[in-house]
């Protein structure tokens, strides 16, 4: 009698591309920091209005950066952008005040 060849050894997981399980539970993402959104928006409004609103936006952005770090929230990039825009807006505001009223 002839002997049948052994089946190949199964390896798990296969080395091919992995397809995610559509029935797996979705991983929960951290919520977005509302203070980061507010700081960014106020800083951008300060650019349009050209007033001291940039300082308020920068302060709110710093507070949101602290909350993001402590609570693990999302929105760090938005808070940093709000901080930079707010500081630049306030510097431009002060420069214009000293140029107009020496």
Q: Could you tell me the pLDDT band of residue 12, with boundaries at 50, 70 and 90? A: low
State if pTM tops 0.85.
Answer: no
Q: Which residue has the higher pLDDT, 51 or 33?
A: 33
pLDDT in tens, 64-95: 999 999 998 999 999 999 999 999 999 988 88
Q: What pLDDT shows up at residue 20?
A: 72
Q: What pLDDT shows up at residue 58?
A: 94
pLDDT at position 16 over 70: no
pLDDT at position 96 over 90: no
3-state SS class at 60: helix
Q: What pLDDT shows up at residue 75?
A: 92
Closest C-alpha to 92, from 54, 65, 35: 54
pLDDT at position 39 over 80: yes
What is the rounded CA–CA span in Å between residue 74 and residue 8?
48
């Amino acid at each position: 009698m002839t002997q049948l060849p052994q089946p190949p050894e199964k390896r798990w997981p296969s080395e091919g591309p992995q397809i995610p399980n559509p029935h797996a539970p979705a991983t929960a993402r951290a919520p977005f920091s509302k203070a980061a959104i507010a700081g960014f928006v106020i800083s951008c409004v300060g650019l349009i209005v050209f007033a001291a609103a940039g300082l308020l936006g920068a302060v709110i952005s710093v507070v949101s950066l602290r909350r993001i770090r402590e609570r693990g929230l999302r929105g760090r990039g938005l808070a940093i952008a709000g901080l930079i825009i707010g500081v630049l807006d306030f510097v431009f505001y002060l420069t214009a005040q000293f140029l107009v009223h020496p």
